[in-house]
Amino acid sequence: MKQDNLLEVKNLTTRFKLDDGILTAVDGISFEVGRNQTVGIVGESGCGKSVTSFSILQLVAPPGKVAEGEIIFDGQDLLKLSKKEMRKIRGKKISMIFQEPMTSLNPVYTIGNQIDEMTKLHLGLDKQAAKEHTIELLRAVKIPSPEQRYHEYPHQLSGGMRQRVMIAMALACNPEMLICDEPTTALDVTVQAQILRLIDELKQKNNMSVMIITHDLAVISEVADKVIVMYAGRIVEESDEKDIFTKPLHPYTEALLKSIPSNAQRGEKLFMIDGMVPNLLKENKGCMFAPRCQYAQPHCFETEPELKTVGDGRKVRCHLRGEGEE
């Protein structure tokens, strides 16, 4: 059965006009997020993941600009909305959890005050109703003693607790879609698992769509319904199946999986992807990953591969994979 899409990104291109030239951070990508679906977007720093999310919410600041494409959310092209209209979408219909809660939360206001402001702004609640709603949200994200935490400041909470506060704030207006930008960065493995499990539980409970941005495939292996792998501003692999974790099609996806510490044999040296993400200010010829790819052939350095669909419905951008192959 065809997935009913809440978000459709079509040929999205976002560029930054810098002193050294034009940097294309997101280069003509297209993907969909279905209703009540979790999509993971994976890649190293500098691959365009976060810029993609900022583009969706129209948060790309100068000198950056969405140069072309469409972002269809619930049948509406967000790129055609005014700033005032987008403010009504952000926080209410689409919420975002940012990478580092300590810098996202205001240190001089209590937790309760910061969440109250969201509910007053978007839901029109009075002071008492906002407080009651906030305490219920803190309880929903499993923060112990929510009445006490309501009066505390960000520095009084642990990293995991602050991340739960960010989730509560993002869910304050019962959004249709939640975007999580590296939601488990700087958290220990146990707390990472708790946060991801919490996001998944709240997604099911609230019938939300979720987009999780991460550099770590292990983070989303249990919760993602679809995985999109980005490299140098382009999508290099996409799969609705869990097969991507056992049978990666693109050499970059394979390398990312090998880089997961838990996949290393005891006593074995940790795998590291050689080289760096290419300089996008320079003209790059052929496959962007070819200089780092152990399987690269001469033509890989000359011609850029297209993103094509293979036999099992997965998509891959690689000369080594042919259309229709199993």
Query: Residue 74 — very low, low, confident or very high, per pLDDT cuts 50/70/90?
Result: very high
Query: What is the per-residue burial (b if ≥16 Cβ within 10 Å, else e) of 58-93?
Result: bebeeebebbebebbbeeeebbebeeeeeeebbbbb
| Contact of 206 with 178, CB cutoff 8 Å | no
Mean pLDDT of the chain: 90
Most confident residue range from 118-132, 135-149, 182-196, 250-264: 135-149
What's the whole-model pTM score? Answer: 0.91
Structure token pair of residue 71: 């972002």
- Percentage with pLDDT > 70 across the chain: 94
Asked if pLDDT for residue 207 goes beyond 70, the answer is yes
| Contact of 175 with 94, CB cutoff 8 Å | yes
Angle at 307 between CA 226 and CA 30, to 5 degrees: 55
| Contact of 17 with 226, CB cutoff 8 Å | no
H or E element that contains 214: strand 209-214
The reported pLDDT for the residue numbered 325 is 53
Average pLDDT estimate for 267-274: 77
Average pLDDT estimate for 306-317: 91
Asked if pLDDT for residue 326 goes beyond 90, the answer is no
Phi then psi dihedrals of residue 318, to 5 deg: -160, 135
- Percentage with pLDDT > 90 across the chain: 70
Structure token pair of residue 166: 């960010």
Residue with tokens 């619930």: 74
The reported pLDDT for the residue numbered 1 is 44
Task: Flag the least confident range among 5-19, 78-92, 201-215, 256-270.
Answer: 256-270
Residue with tokens 């319904």: 225
Distance CA 185, CA 191 (A): 10
Asked if pLDDT for residue 193 goes beyond 70, the answer is yes
Distance CA 283, CA 260 (A): 31
Query: Residue 190 — very low, low, confident or very high, per pLDDT cuts 50/70/90?
Result: confident
Asked if pLDDT for residue 152 goes beyond 80, the answer is yes
The reported pLDDT for the residue numbered 98 is 81
Taking only the tens place, the pLDDT of each residue in 88-119 is 899 889 999 987 766 789 999 999 999 998 88
Taking only the tens place, the pLDDT of each residue in 13-53 is 999 999 999 999 999 999 999 999 999 999 998 899 999 99
The reported pLDDT for the residue numbered 282 is 87
Which residues neighbour 22 within 8 Å (Cβ) at sequence distance 6 or greater?
15, 16, 281
> Which stretches within the chain are classed as H helix?
49-56, 83-89, 101-104, 111-123, 127-140, 146-149, 159-170, 189-206, 217-220, 251-258
Question: Which residue segments constitute the domains of the chain, with CATH numbers given?
Answer: 5-93+175-316 (3.40.50.300)
The reported pLDDT for the residue numbered 255 is 93
